[in-house]
Amino acid sequence: MENLFQPAEIASIVLPEEKIKSRVAALGRQITRDYAGKRLIMVGVLKGAVPFLADLIRCVALPLQYDFIAVASYGASTVSSGAVRMLKDLELSVEGFDVLLVEDIIDTGLTLRYLRENLYNRRPASLKIAALLNKPSRRGAEITADYCGFTVPDEFLVGYGLDYNQNFRNLPYVGALRREVWQER
């Protein structure tokens, strides 16, 4: 049953819960086929990718490991600073493993470019990217996802891990935040 809780700050539901579940399951099947017989480590980017990673790993029918990495480029702002800094590093070594970097959204691409380069320098057997959302209209760095859930419009999106000032991550859908909410700051 779909959760219909919709705070007043949400202008519209962009991706309903059932549509997300269906797409995540399809991505899980594709990843299962592509990584069969490989040593897979999925790396979730904190905090936004947690719901996506949690649902995705349950849809991958293979032995795998997972870990988390955290970086910051936004802070409390709604615009990326362009400078990425590491907040939490991996606990696992990825050397020799097939690594799938799992992110909630590719926006400017700056964070993912930094993470891709950082992880590549650790000598994985392979390195690919899975992103639930792709927002190409805001791209500032040349980067694409190998596995992509949805291409989305240039709106301020929240829910399913995406936040505004650390709020709304728990919504089971992706919604557009009302402009007057995020332009108040």
Q: Cis omega before residue 47 (within 30°)?
A: yes
Looking at residue 83, its pLDDT comes to: 76
In sequence order, which residues have a C-beta less than 8 Å from that of residue 85 and are 6 or more positions away? 71, 72, 73
In a domain, 33, yes or no: yes
What pLDDT, on a 0 to 100 scale, did the predictor assign at position 23?
98
At residue 134's C-alpha, the angle toward residues 171 and 57, to 5°, is: 60
Active site residue 107: yes
Q: Within a domain: residue 170?
A: no
Query: Domain count of the chain?
Result: 1
State the pTM of this model. 0.90
Q: What is the pLDDT of residue 20?
A: 98
Range of the domain at 116: 17-153
Residue 165 lies in a domain: no
Confidence of residue 4 (pLDDT cuts 50, 70, 90): low
CATH number at residue 102: 3.40.50.2020
Q: Is residue 32 part of a domain?
A: yes
Q: Is residue 41 part of a domain?
A: yes
Mean pLDDT for the stretch of residues 137-154: 92
Whether 173 is in a domain gets the answer no
Average pLDDT rounded to a whole number, residues 173-178: 96
Residue 81 has pLDDT above 70, yes or no: no
Active-site position among 55, 98, 104, 107? 107
pLDDT value at 156 more than 70 = yes
Least-confidence region, from 32-36, 167-171, 177-181: 177-181
